Chain A
Amino acid sequence: MTYEITGRYAMVDGARCYYDVCGEGIPLVCIHMGWACSLQWHHFMPLMAVAGFRVLAPDLPGHAKSMPVNWKPFRKMRDYAEWVWHFIEATCGGEKPVVCGSGIGGDMTLQLACHHPEGIRAGMGFECAARTGSISFLSGYADPHTFPGFSALTDNASTSAMYYPCDPLKVLESKWQHRATYQETCVADMDAWNDHDVREHLHRIRCPIFLYKGEADYHIPDQAVLDTIAAIPHGLAEGGIAPGVGHLIMMEQPERLAEACLGFLRRRGIV
């Protein structure tokens, strides 16, 4: 059986947003990385749809086909996470979703688990931790005149932390996945990445959490991921460092990621 990905729109926080949807079943909301868009999940979505999920992947506000809320990009991770919460309310029909995300999307997943502890069935965060922040130099470059070569930065930043050797077509695809977002939003994404810190809120988590990081991803230290797993109480968290993959795990090795996610969800009785 094949699962088609179709596009939809919804109004969230007064702004029109785009999302892809695939399959039927338990809602699984997939939140993309900074600078990227829903295209990042195209290889992963049908794999999870086969397993019985209704997979939804929004473009975050100000990315690709989603308008920014109040015409300004978010700069705080909590604001981003609250938008995701409102997206869930608008699209999941009152059903508790599983939430997964990577990079800033992973940070949002942890924010939701902390601040809406009864609101999600499980959280799966990739390339994220309780506290993040590795690229700190971009705040002055929101306007195009300050950094005329920003698109080259985007191309390189979106592919440098992949695991090499890597299929050159995947490298090219990753570049294109990051070419639909405006410079001001990209810079704001990094401000949010640097702003994220839920270390004091991890005790509030009530759902199973799976954290997974590619070994080649230098944007986040391995230890930050392992420390986060250890700090989530009641044995709710598991995961670790994945050898042979990098920053873009959902497109570098989507089958392997789906297998890891489904293993976690089965162990935790979600599926």
Chain B
Amino acid sequence: MHFPGADFLNALIARLNADEAFARATRWSDVKIVLAFGDERWWLKLYGGKVIDSMPWFPMANPLGWDYQIAAPLATWQALRDGTRALGHLLDTGAIAVDGDLLQANRLYESTHLMLSAIRDLPADA
């Protein structure tokens, strides 16, 4: 499985949607997120405790737009996944940057933490 890539994203969504903690953290969510792994970007729709839709994202190409994005250079994501940098440190310092509607993003802070934990822990051969 290529990271990042469609297979990885599908595995990520499957893991999140099977996670009770993620369901609890997003029970009252209704947001559109752009998840940017360097130049590779994915649009996710969170609603009612699950990721209910996803698609590749290109600027101006999605009429629904997005509420906030979670973005970092690919090397930063690799550092998260190989354990050389801690998740909390990457978030606290903005190395993985959350931007856009921060009221929504911060309301759903726990879901971001869970999503990044899943990105970190998802094996390449999942």
Contact = CB atoms under 8 A, between A and B. Distances in A.
A153 interface: yes
Q: How large is the interface on B (under 10, 10 to 19, 20 to 34, 35 or more residues)?
A: 10 to 19
A232 B116 CA distance: 40
A241 to B, nearest CB: 16
A150 B113 CA distance: 13
B106 A135 contact: no
Contacts of A166: none
Given A135-B92, A149-B109, A218 B86 contact: yes
Contacts of B94: 137
Contacts of B92: 134-135, 137, 157
Given A137-B94, A148-B103, A152-B25, A218 B89 contact: yes
A45 B76 CA distance: 40
B110 A152 contact: yes
A150 B89 contact: no
B74 interface: no
B24 to A, nearest CB: 11
Given A134-B93, A137-B94, A152 B88 contact: no
B106 A161 contact: no
Contacts, number: 47
B87 interface: yes
Nearest to B98: A137
Contact of B110 (A137, A149, A216): A149
A152 B92 CA distance: 13
B88 A149 contact: no
A147 interface: yes
A156 interface: yes
B108 interface: yes
Nearest to B109: A149
A253 interface: no
B103 A156 contact: no
A160 interface: yes
Given A134-B93, A148-B103, A152-B25, A157 B110 contact: no
13 contacts: A148-B107, A149-B109, A150-B109, A152-B25, A155-B110, A157-B88, A157-B92, A160-B86, A160-B87, A160-B88, A160-B89, A161-B89, A218-B89
Given A147-B109, A149-B108, 12 more contacts: A137-B92, A146-B103, A147-B106, A149-B106, A152-B25, A152-B109, A153-B106, A156-B110, A160-B88, A160-B89, A161-B89, A218-B89
